[in-house]
Chain A
C-alpha cells in the first residue's frame, strides 16, 4: 500500500544500537583509565572532577571514583574560600540529584550525598528534606533514602512532632509500609513519654530489697496517646487484616515492658555444700561482680554455669569450701550481692535443715506478662473485644488469632487456657507452614500455666503430661522442683537448660521422642529417670547421665538401645551407681 510510513527494520535498529553501545564503552573505558592514572599521580584538579562526574553519571556505583572525588573535594576545601567551597558543594548536590534520578537506590550516591551535606558550609536542610520526601513518594521503601533522611533530621533538628506528622502522612498513603510504622514507634516515646509516676507512698516501691516491680518503663508511651495509636492501628488491620505491618506495630504497642534485672532466687544445700543463684535474665556471673557473704565473711568461690555450653545463664552455682556448712547443728546466714546493679538477696539456713532458699512468691504478672505491658485491664479487655469482632468476620486470619492469644494471656492466662488451645489448633491448620512455631509457642504458654499452678499450690512438683509439648522453656523457674513429670508429650530432647533443675530427684519422661539427654547433667540429687518408649538408641546418648552421682533407677524399656547386644554390661560400666535398670 502506498503512503505508508517507512520504518527502520529491527536489524537496522539493533545494529545502530550496538554501534552506539560500542562507542559509549570506548569513551567510558578511556575516561576510567584517565581517572585512575590521575589519581595515581595525585592530581586533584577540575578536569578530574569533570571526568569522574561523567563516569559516575552513567555508573553511580563506582566506589573508587566517589573516593577519588572526595579526595579532590577535600583538597579544594584547603585552597578555596568558603563561598567558593559552598558553590562547589552545591554543584555537587545538584550532580548527585541527577545520579539519584538514574538510580535512586545507589549506595554510592546516597553515601556521597550524606558526606557532602555534612561538609557543606551552609547546608540547606529544608531542601534536603523535600528531596527525601519526593524520593519517598516515588518509593516509600527506599531504605537508602530513609537512612539519609534520618541523618538530615538529626543534623537539622526537625522537631519530633513534625516527624510524627510525617509518619501520619506516609501511613495514610500506604499503611503496608513498615518503615513508617517503625519510625513512628521510635518517635512516640520521645513525644508522649509516660508521665513519671507521682512519688506517692502507696505506689512507691518499698526500699527493702528485693524491689518487687519486675517492670521498667523505658520505652513507654502515655496512656492517652496509646489509645489513639490503638485506634489508628485498628483501622489498618480492619481494612486489611492480612497486612503484617499493622500487626507488628500493634504487638509493639501492646508490649513494651522489660523485666527488671534482679536476683530472683538463692538456694543453698547443706549436703552438697553448694549455692545456686537464679537471675531474672541470663547473665555471665563471672563478670557481673557476684559476691557471696557467709555469716558476714566474704567467700572466695568459683561460679560456674549449670552446663559448660552456657557462658550466659540465668542459673549459676558454686561450691562452698568443704566443711563450712556441713554441720547440721549450725545456723548460717548467706547473702549474695550483685555489686554491679547493685542488689542482693539473703538466705538463712536454719539448724536441722538440709537446704534452704529465698525467693519471691512469683505471680503470673511478674513472671510472664512482661511480653505485654501491664496496661489497665479495661484497655486490654476492649482491645480483645475488637480483635474478637474482627475474628468473627475473618475467622481464619492468623494475625488476628495470634493477637487474640497474646491478649488473652495478658488478661488471664489460666482462665483463657481452653480458648487459647483452640485458637492454636486453628492457627496450625490455617498456617501449616508455621505449625512448628505455633507448637513451640503453645508449649511455652502451657509451661507458663503449669508453673503458675505450681506456684499457687506451693509445691515442688512440676507435672505437665499429655500436653503436646514440643519444647521446654522457663527451666530457670524450676530450680527448686524435685519431681518433674513430662510424660506423653512430643519432646525430642532434654536440652542443656535442663541442668538448671538443681533439686531434681525424679524425672518422668515416658512416651516422648527423646533422643538426647544433654541436659541431664550434674544433677546432684537425681535418683530416678523414667524414659520408657523414647528414641534413645546409642550408649553415647546416655553419656550425660554418668555425671549424676545419685542415679539409682533407670527405665529404658521401649527404646531402640535395648536391642543392642550386651547393652546391660556396657550400661553397668557407664552408670555404676544404677542399681535398678529396666530394659
Chain B
C-alpha cells in the first residue's frame, strides 16, 4: 500500500465513480474546486462499468461471494467536540440480485470431431436441462410457456445456482452443420476484446448527455458509433422498423400507401395540434388507431418509435415520438449513438476531465464515516478507509454507500431485469455483419414486460469478431431469468429452445437484477445538509435522469457557477512554473487524445490491436493522474 497520505483538505469529496458522481466531479473540478474522487472498487464507474469477459467473470464471482461484514472500527478518537459520527455502509452487493450464468458452448476447443461421435461427449452440468429441452422438442408452440416454466423449475433445482460458467451440451448435437461454435476457452482467451456493460443504455443524439458531452468538450475523450438500425420483434419475426426517410423508402414490408401514411404521421406529429390535445389522458394506442394507420404502422409507432406500451397516455407517447424524431438524422439514420468500447467509457471520460483540472483519484479507497457538526448538521470531514481525517465542504456519494434507513426510496424497491448474451449471429442478418441494432420487443406473453434489446457488433469494440453482444433490459416483474429467458428461448437458439429455424446461438449468458436508480427520492433523506445522494443507473433508455440529477447537485454545491463550460483548447492553457509538471503533463495528454480522435474508426485487425494498446496506455495514464496517490495492493 502506498503510504503517502492524501491532502487533508478538499472542497468536494465524491464517493463512487458512477455517471452522476463523475459528472459532478468534472463540473466541480472544471470551475476550480479541489475534488477528491474515491471508489471502493478496483474499477471505475460502479454499476455503470464495462468489463472484459474475464473481468465480468471476476465481477460475477465477487457478487456471489458472501460479503463479510467489516469489523466496525472505533473512530471516536478522530471525533472533535460537537461532532457526530455517521457510518457508511461497507458493502454494496445489495444493488445486484438473482445472478445466474449459463454457458451453451463447450468449455474447451473441440478437436476435429464429427457429429457422429457427439453422443458420447455429451455430459456436464447442464445436461439434464438439455435433455428436458430435447424431450419437449415436439410440443412446439402450445406448450412453450409451460416449457419455460418447467425450465425455471429445472434450473432452480438442477442448476447448482449457476456458480461458474458451466459446461453445456455439445452444440453439434443440435446443429449438424459444420459451423463450429466458439468455445468458452476461446471467449476467455479473447476476453480482452469484450467490453460488457452492466447497464444497457443508448445515447439520444439530442439527449442531455450528448449535449453535455459537446458543451463540456468531454466528447473528445471518446468515440461513438451510430446505432445503425431499429428492429422490432413481431409475430415471431424480427423486422426492421423504418424510421428515417431512407428507411421508409427502402422498406419492403410497407406498401406505398403505408409509406405515405407513416411519413405523413411523422411529419405531422412534430407540431402539437389541438387534435392531439383532445387525446390527452387517453392511451396513445387509441390516438394511433384513430389515425387509420393500419396495424403495421401502429406497431412500429407505438413500440419502436414512441417505445411506449399499450397504456401509455397520448401526451407521453407523442412527446417521446417527438424526441425520437428530433434525434433522427443528427448523426445518422437512427436517433441513437453508442460509445465505442462501451458505456463504461462515459463516466471515465468525465473523471478524466476532472483529473485534467486537478481532481485527485483513488480507487479501492473508501470513506468509513462522516464527521457531522451537531449544530449546523453539516459534514465537516470524512474518515477514509485508511483512517485519515479529510475535511471537506461538500460530500457527494452514490446511494449504495448509504444505509437504507437514512434514505428515501420508492417502495417496493424497483428493479431492472438484465440479460447479457454472447451470440454467434445477428437476430436479423443483413449485408453488413457490423450492424448496431436497437430492438424493441413488446411483451411476448401476457404477464411479461416489454423488453429493450441492444445488439452490438464487434466494431463497437465490445465483443470479439464473430460474436455479437446482446443486452436485454426490462422493468422487473420477477427475476431477470423469469422476465427474460422466455424471450431468449424464442429469439435465439439455446439448448432450451425448440430449434428448427435459423436463429443465432447463445454461447454464454448472464441474468441479473439491478436496483432501478430512479427509485431514489430527491428529498427527505436523513443526511447532513451538505451531503448529496447520487442514484445508480435507472431503467430508462436515455441518460436524462442522471444528467439532470448531476446538474441539480452541482447547482446546490455551487449555485453561482456554470455547469461544465467548454474546456479550453490545450494550447490556450497557460501553465505557470509552480504547478508545472502535473498540469503540463495533462496538457500533453489532451493533445495525444486529439490526435487519436482524428483517426478514423478502425476496421483492420491490426489497427484494432493498436487501439487496444492505446486504450490500456490511457488507463495507465489515468492512474498516474491520481498523482501516484491511488492505493495499490
* A238/B31 in contact, CB under 8 A: no
Looking at the complex, which of A147-155, A259-267, A389-397 is the stretch in contact with chain B? A389-397
Q: How far is the CB of B601 from chain A (nearest CB, A)?
A: 14
Q: From the candidates A4, A5, A6, A172, name the one contacting B246 in the complex (CB within 8 A).
A: A172
In the complex with contacts A7-B574, A235-B259, A239-B249, A393-B34 CB distance below 8 A: no
* A172/B245 in contact, CB under 8 A: no
A13–B574 CA distance with the chains assembled, in angstroms: 12
* B572/A8 in contact, CB under 8 A: yes
Q: How far is the CB of B129 from chain A (nearest CB, A)?
A: 45
* A174/B246 in contact, CB under 8 A: yes
Q: What chain B residues lie within 8 Å of A394 (beta carbons)?
A: 260, 264
A389–B246 CA distance with the chains assembled, in angstroms: 22
CB-CB nearest in chain B for A234: B256
Q: From the candidates A8, A172, A174, name the one contacting B574 in the complex (CB within 8 A).
A: A8
Q: How far is the CB of A13 from chain B (nearest CB, A)?
A: 7
Render A384-404 as a binary contact track against B, CB cut-off 8 A, 1 for contact: 001001100110000000000
CB-CB nearest in chain B for A8: B572
Within 8 A of B (CB), among A480-538: none
Asked whether A2 is an interface residue with its Cβ less than 8 Å from the other chain, the reply is: yes
Q: How far is the CB of B217 from chain A (nearest CB, A)?
A: 12
Asked whether B263 is an interface residue with its Cβ less than 8 Å from the other chain, the reply is: yes
Q: What chain B residues lie within 8 Å of A6 (beta carbons)?
A: 573-574, 576
Asked whether A240 is an interface residue with its Cβ less than 8 Å from the other chain, the reply is: yes
Q: How far is the CB of B332 from chain A (nearest CB, A)?
A: 11
In the complex with contacts A7-B568, A7-B574, A8-B572, A2-B32 CB distance below 8 A: yes
In this complex, which of A234, A235, A390 has the most chain B Cβ atoms within 10 angstroms of its Cβ? A235
Asked whether A241 is an interface residue with its Cβ less than 8 Å from the other chain, the reply is: yes
Q: How far is the CB of B363 from chain A (nearest CB, A)?
A: 23
CB-CB nearest in chain B for A386: B256
Within 8 A of A (CB), among B350-365: 357-358
Q: What chain A residues lie within 8 Å of B32 (beta carbons)?
A: 1-5
Within 8 A of A (CB), among B209-265: 245-246, 248-250, 256-257, 259-261, 263-264
CB-CB nearest in chain A for B258: A238
Q: What chain A residues lie within 8 Å of B573 (beta carbons)?
A: 5-8
Asked whether A178 is an interface residue with its Cβ less than 8 Å from the other chain, the reply is: no
CB-CB nearest in chain A for B256: A238
Asked whether A173 is an interface residue with its Cβ less than 8 Å from the other chain, the reply is: yes
In this complex, which of B34, B260, B261, B576 has the most chain A Cβ atoms within 10 angstroms of its Cβ? B260
* A235/B256 in contact, CB under 8 A: yes
Asked whether B33 is an interface residue with its Cβ less than 8 Å from the other chain, the reply is: yes
* B259/A238 in contact, CB under 8 A: yes
CB-CB nearest in chain B for A172: B250
Total chain A interface residues with beta-carbon distance under 8 A: 25
Within 8 A of B (CB), among A216-272: 234-236, 238-241
In the complex with contacts A5-B568, A6-B574, A386-B256, A239-B358 CB distance below 8 A: no
Q: How far is the CB of A538 from chain B (nearest CB, A)?
A: 55
Q: A1-B31, A389-B257, A393-B261 are in contact. List 15 more A-B contacts (CB 8 A).
A: A1-B32, A5-B32, A7-B573, A7-B574, A13-B572, A175-B246, A235-B250, A238-B257, A238-B260, A239-B245, A239-B259, A239-B263, A240-B249, A389-B256, A390-B260
Q: What chain A residues lie within 8 Å of B357 (beta carbons)?
A: 5
In the complex with contacts A5-B357, A389-B257, A390-B260, A239-B248 CB distance below 8 A: yes
CB-CB nearest in chain B for A13: B572
A7–B573 CA distance with the chains assembled, in angstroms: 5
* B249/A172 in contact, CB under 8 A: yes
Render B197-214 as a binary contact track against A, CB cut-off 8 A, 1 for contact: 000000000000000000
A234–B258 CA distance with the chains assembled, in angstroms: 12
Render B25-66 as a binary contact track against A, CB cut-off 8 A, 1 for contact: 000000111100000000000000000000000000000000
CB-CB nearest in chain A for B246: A173
CB-CB nearest in chain A for B29: A3
A389–B257 CA distance with the chains assembled, in angstroms: 8
CB-CB nearest in chain A for B572: A8
Render B560-586 as a binary contact track against A, CB cut-off 8 A, 1 for contact: 000000001000111010000000000
* B576/A240 in contact, CB under 8 A: no
Q: From the candidates A3, A234, A241, A390, name the one contacting B358 in the complex (CB within 8 A).
A: A3
Q: What chain B residues lie within 8 Å of A241 (beta carbons)?
A: 260
Q: From the candidates B245, B250, B257, B261, name the one contacting A240 in the complex (CB within 8 A).
A: B245
Within 8 A of B (CB), among A4-38: 4-8, 13
A selection of 19 A-B contacts at a CB cut-off of 8 Å is A3-B32, A3-B34, A4-B31, A5-B32, A5-B568, A5-B573, A6-B576, A7-B573, A7-B574, A8-B572, A172-B249, A235-B259, A238-B259, A238-B263, A239-B263, A389-B256, A390-B256, A393-B257, A393-B260
Chain B interface category by residue count: 20 to 34
* A235/B576 in contact, CB under 8 A: no
Q: What chain A residues lie within 8 Å of B574 (beta carbons)?
A: 6-8
* B249/A7 in contact, CB under 8 A: no
CB-CB nearest in chain B for A173: B246
Q: What chain B residues lie within 8 Å of A240 (beta carbons)?
A: 245, 249, 263
Q: What chain A residues lie within 8 Å of B34 (beta carbons)?
A: 3
Q: How far is the CB of B198 from chain A (nearest CB, A)?
A: 33
In this complex, which of A174, A234, A240, A241 has the most chain B Cβ atoms within 10 angstroms of its Cβ? A240
CB-CB nearest in chain B for A235: B249
A459–B271 CA distance with the chains assembled, in angstroms: 60
A238–B246 CA distance with the chains assembled, in angstroms: 12
* B257/A3 in contact, CB under 8 A: no
Q: What chain B residues lie within 8 Å of A172 (beta carbons)?
A: 246, 249-250
* B260/A7 in contact, CB under 8 A: no
* A3/B263 in contact, CB under 8 A: no
Within 8 A of A (CB), among B392-408: none
Q: What chain A residues lie within 8 Å of B259 (beta carbons)?
A: 235, 238-239
Q: How far is the CB of B333 from chain A (nearest CB, A)?
A: 9
Q: What chain B residues lie within 8 Å of A235 (beta carbons)?
A: 249-250, 256, 259
Render A161-177 as a binary contact track against B, CB cut-off 8 A, 1 for contact: 00000000000111100
CB-CB nearest in chain B for A10: B572
A239–B358 CA distance with the chains assembled, in angstroms: 53
A4–B579 CA distance with the chains assembled, in angstroms: 12
Q: What chain A residues lie within 8 Å of B260 (beta carbons)?
A: 238-239, 241, 390, 393-394
CB-CB nearest in chain B for A4: B32
Q: How far is the CB of A97 from chain B (nearest CB, A)?
A: 14
A8–B571 CA distance with the chains assembled, in angstroms: 9
A390–B255 CA distance with the chains assembled, in angstroms: 12
A386–B259 CA distance with the chains assembled, in angstroms: 13
Q: What chain B residues lie within 8 Å of A390 (beta carbons)?
A: 256, 260
* B263/A7 in contact, CB under 8 A: no
A3–B357 CA distance with the chains assembled, in angstroms: 9
Q: What chain B residues lie within 8 Å of A234 (beta carbons)?
A: 256
In this complex, which of A8, A239, A240 has the most chain B Cβ atoms within 10 angstroms of its Cβ? A239
Q: What chain B residues lie within 8 Å of A7 (beta carbons)?
A: 568, 572-574
CB-CB nearest in chain B for A390: B260
Q: How far is the CB of A181 from chain B (nearest CB, A)?
A: 13
Q: How far is the CB of B620 from chain A (nearest CB, A)?
A: 24
Q: How far is the CB of A73 from chain B (nearest CB, A)?
A: 30
- What are the 3 A-B residue pairs with the smallest beta carbon separation, nearest first? A4-B32, A238-B256, A6-B574
Q: What chain A residues lie within 8 Å of B576 (beta carbons)?
A: 6
Within 8 A of B (CB), among A540-570: none
Q: What chain A residues lie within 8 Å of B264 (beta carbons)?
A: 393-394
Within 8 A of A (CB), among B596-610: none
A394–B268 CA distance with the chains assembled, in angstroms: 13
Render B259-290 as a binary contact track against A, CB cut-off 8 A, 1 for contact: 11101100000000000000000000000000
CB-CB nearest in chain A for B576: A6
A88–B531 CA distance with the chains assembled, in angstroms: 69
CB-CB nearest in chain A for B571: A8
Q: What chain A residues lie within 8 Å of B256 (beta carbons)?
A: 234-235, 238, 386, 389-390
